[in-house]
Amino acid sequence: MINRKVELFRGDIFYFTSSPLEDIHAYRYIPDGVLAVSEGKILATGSFVEMKKCFSDASVTDFSGKLLMPGFIDAHIHYPQSEIIGMYGRQLLDWLHEYTFPAETMFSSPEHADYIADFFVNELFRNGTTTCMAYATVHPESVNALFTAASQYNMCMLTGKMLMDRNAPEQLTDTVERGGTESRTLIEAWHNKGRNRYVITPRFAISCTDKQLSEAGRLHRDYPDTYIQTHLSENKSEIDQTLSLYPDCSDYLEVYERAGLVTERTVFGHCIHLSEAESHRLASAGAAIAHCPTSNLFLGSGLFNMREANRLGLQTTLATDVAGGTSFSMLRTMGEAYKVQQLNAYPMSPFESLYKCTLGSARVLKLEDEIGSFKEGCYADFIVVEDAVTPSQQIRKDCLQRTGKWDLENRIFGLQILGDDRNIAATYIEGKAVKFKFITRE
C-alpha cells in the first residue's frame, strides 16, 4: 500500500457478492461507507470510520447520503439506432425496414459514425451505464468509431460488425467472404486491446444465409475468447419467416446450433417465444439471454417469462435494446421488467433485477473479475445515485422514513419504479469522473 495514491469515496456502498436467487443475502450494504480506489481499481470497501483510520492520508470525495454502486452493464443495445429512438408504430420486421435500415445506412460515413458513437457513449454515462455489449452496423467504420470513442475513457466496450448477406438494402449487405475478412481484421485490431472486446455479430437468421452463419461460427472457433451476439425468437412473424428460410431445422435455435453459434460466450437477445426444448438446450449450452422489456413492450413482441427462465436454469441479464428499447436508462429498464413480470404473476424482486444489471451481467460476459461488483481488484467503474430528485421520489422517501420502512429493498425498488437519468449524480470509469456533455449536431 506504501506510495500508492489512494482515493476514498464516501457514501452508502452497495454491491452483490453472488446471485440473490441463490442467497438473498449475497450483497454488501455499508451505510456511511467508503470505496477505496487506487490506480483505477477497487482496493477495499468498509465503514467510513474504519477506512479513514486505515487510509489517513487519502483524499475523500464526499457523497454522503447517496448510493455508490457498480456501474450498470447493458448486455444488448444497438448504438447506430440512437437517432431513431421512439419512432412510432409497427412491429419488428416493419420497424426494421422503415426506420432501422435507413438509419444504419448512414454509417458508411465515418463522420456520422464518430458523431453517433460520441453521443452514444455519453448517453450511456449519463444513465449510469459503464459497460455495454453493442451492435454496430455492417460497416467496419462503425466498429472503429465505437471502439475509438470508448477508448478515450478506457471504458470496457464489447461490440462487433454486423453480418448480413440477405433480406436488407444493398448498402447494408456484405458477403460471406467480406463479412469474414472484415471481422478478422477488426478482431486483430481491437479484441483485447485495452478494455475492448470483440463480439461476432450475425444480426439474425433472416438476414444471414446458412453459409454466413457458418462463417460466424468458424470465426468464433478461430478466436474462441471473442463473444457472439444475435437475436432469437423475438417476434412471431420473425419466427415464421426464419422457419420458412430454414425448412430443414425443427426450430429457430437449431439454425444457430448447426452453425456452432450456441456457446457459453453467446448472448441471445429476447428469446420470448422459445419452446421448452429450446430453453433446455440453451441452458445446457450455458448461453445467455438478454431480456429487453422496454423493447418488447414498444414493438409489441411479447412478455418474456423470467420465472420460467429461472426455473429452467437459464442465465439472463436485463438490457435496453435501444432503439427497439425506449430508454438508455437501466433504472427504467428494471421498472419495465418488473411490470412485464407482474403480467406473468412474478413480482420480480428488486435485488434480482439489480443483480441482472450488474454482477449477473458481468458473469454472463465472463468479466466478473473486472466489473460488476466492488470486489478487490475490479475496475473502479461506479455510479453515484441520488434517491430523491423529483417531488414524487421525495414524498415517497419521506413517507417511508416516517414509518420506519426506509430499508434497502424499498430504496432500490423506488429507484427502479420512479428513477431515470436524473438520479445518476455521477459516473466514474477507473476512478475518474466522466463529464456529461449535451451533444447536438452543429
Positions touching ligand GUN (CB under 6 A) are: 78, 92, 96, 100, 203-204, 231, 234, 295, 321, 324
The count of other CB atoms within 10 Å of the CB of residue 401 is 11
Q: How far is the CB of 146 from ligand GUN (least distance, A)?
A: 15
User: Whole-number minimum distance, CB 265 to ligand GUN, in Å?
Assistant: 20
Nearer CB in complex with ligand GUN: 204/252: 204
Task: State which residue, 96 or 106, has the beta carbon closest to ligand GUN.
Answer: 96
The binder of 112, among ligand GUN, Zn ion, none, by C-beta within 5 to 8 A per type, is none
Query: Interface with Zn ion includes 160 (CB under 5 A)?
Result: no
d(CA 187, CA 193): 10
Of residues 128, 202, 269, 419, which one binds Zn ion by CB under 5 A?
Answer: 269
Contacts of 306 (CB under 8 A, 6+ apart): 291, 316, 337, 340, 341, 344, 346, 348, 352
Give the shortest CB-235-to-ligand GUN separation in angstroms. Answer: 8
Q: In what order do the strands lie in the sheet with 432-433?
A: 41-47, 27-38, 6-16, 59-70, 382-385, 424-429, 432-433
Residue 321 makes contact with Zn ion by CB under 5 A: yes
- Should residue 80 be labelled a site residue for Zn ion when binding is judged by CB under 5 A? no
Q: What is the Rg, in whole angstroms, of the alpha carbon atoms belonging to the chain?
A: 21
Compute the least distance from the CB of residue 391 to ligand GUN, in Å: 34
CA geometry: angle 392, 397, 399, nearest 5 deg: 95
Spell out a b/e string for 16-35, using b for 16 or more CB atoms within 10 Å of the CB, else e. Answer: bebbbeeeeeebbbbeebbb
92 binds, among ligand GUN, Zn ion, none (CB under 5 to 8 A by kind): ligand GUN
Q: Which does 419 bind (CB under 5 to 8 A by kind): Zn ion, ligand GUN, none?
A: none
Residue 74 or 321: the one with the smaller Cβ distance to Zn ion is 321
- The residue (of 123 and 234) whose beta carbon lies closer to ligand GUN is 234
Partner interacting with residue 234 (select from Zn ion, ligand GUN, none; CB below 5-8 Å by kind): ligand GUN
Do the bridges between strand 129-135 and strand 288-291 make them parallel or antiparallel, or are there none, so unpaired? unpaired
CA distance 170 to 246: 22
Q: How far apart are CA 275 and CA 257, in angstroms?
A: 15
Size of interface with Zn ion, in residues (CB under 5 A): 2
Query: What's the min distance (Å) between Cβ of 323 and Zn ion?
Result: 9
- 9, β-bridge pairs: 35, 61
203 binds, among ligand GUN, Zn ion, none (CB under 5 to 8 A by kind): ligand GUN
Closer to Zn ion by CB, 52 or 236: give it.
Answer: 236
| Nearer CB in complex with Zn ion: 60/87 | 87
Residue 355's binding partner among Zn ion, ligand GUN, none (Cβ under 5 to 8 angstroms by kind) is none
> 131 touches which of Zn ion, ligand GUN, none (CB within 5 to 8 A by kind)?
none
Rounded distance, CA 260 to CA 238, Å? 21
* Cα separations in angstroms, 185 against 112, 160, 236, 362: 22, 11, 36, 26
Element (H, E) at 18: none
